[in-house]
Amino acid sequence: DTGVSQDPRHKITKRGQNVTFRCDPISEHNRLYWYRQTLGQGPEFLTYFQNEAQLEKSRLLSDRFSAERPKGSFSTLEIQRTEQGDSAMYLCASSSPQEAGPYNEQFFGPGTRLTVL
């Protein structure tokens, strides 16, 4: 098992463009989370999935943001009409309540760093 992977690792785009990020969780982890982190701050929760169902969305997730997990495995996060304020590190994490040890911790991917010019 290679852990949570994210692609791309870096993305530079111009304001107004659409971008899509991908997250591959640890195999058979049924929960997948998206967070956003700006420099010098802690991560902020955006949304989470249990299997293919999106069960919670933060108020931070405006209508320009959409996330999917169509088959309950990988997930995509799309940002439409990007703004400079969207520049951040987008982190994906996964966990598995059924298989977890005593901690049920979330395992984080390396993140996608988005820069909007």
Partner 1 sequence: GQNIDQPTEMTATEGAIVQINCTYQTSGFNGLFWYQQHAGEAPTFLSYNVLDGLEEKGRFSSFLSRSKGYSYLLLKELQMKDSASYLCAAAQGAGNKLTFGGGTRVLVKP
Q: Which is nearer to partner 1, 45 or 74 (CB)?
A: 45
| Contact between 99 and partner 1 per CB under 8 A | no
Among 43, 65, 77, 86, binds partner 1 (CB under 8 A): 43
Provide the minimum distance between the beta carbon of 49 and partner 1 in the complex, in angstroms, as a whole number.
9
| Contact between 25 and partner 1 per CB under 8 A | no
Provide the minimum distance between the beta carbon of 105 and partner 1 in the complex, in angstroms, as a whole number.
4
Q: Which two tokens stand for residue 20?
A: 């899509």
The full 3-state SS of the chain, as one line of letters, equals CCCCEEECCEEEECCCCCEEEEEECCCCCCEEEEEEECCCCCCEEEEEEECCEEEEECCCCCCCEEEECCCCCCEEEEECCCCHHHCEEEEEEEECCCCCCCCCCCEECCCEEEEEC
Stretch that binds partner 1, among 18-26, 30-38, 60-68, 69-77 (CB under 8 A): 30-38
Q: Who's near 73: CB < 8 A, 6+ residues apart? A: 24, 25
| Contact between 111 and partner 1 per CB under 8 A | yes
Among 24, 29, 30, 35, binds partner 1 (CB under 8 A): 35
Give contact residues for partner 1 (rule: CB under 8 A).
4, 31, 33, 35, 40-45, 48, 50, 55-56, 91, 95, 97, 102-111
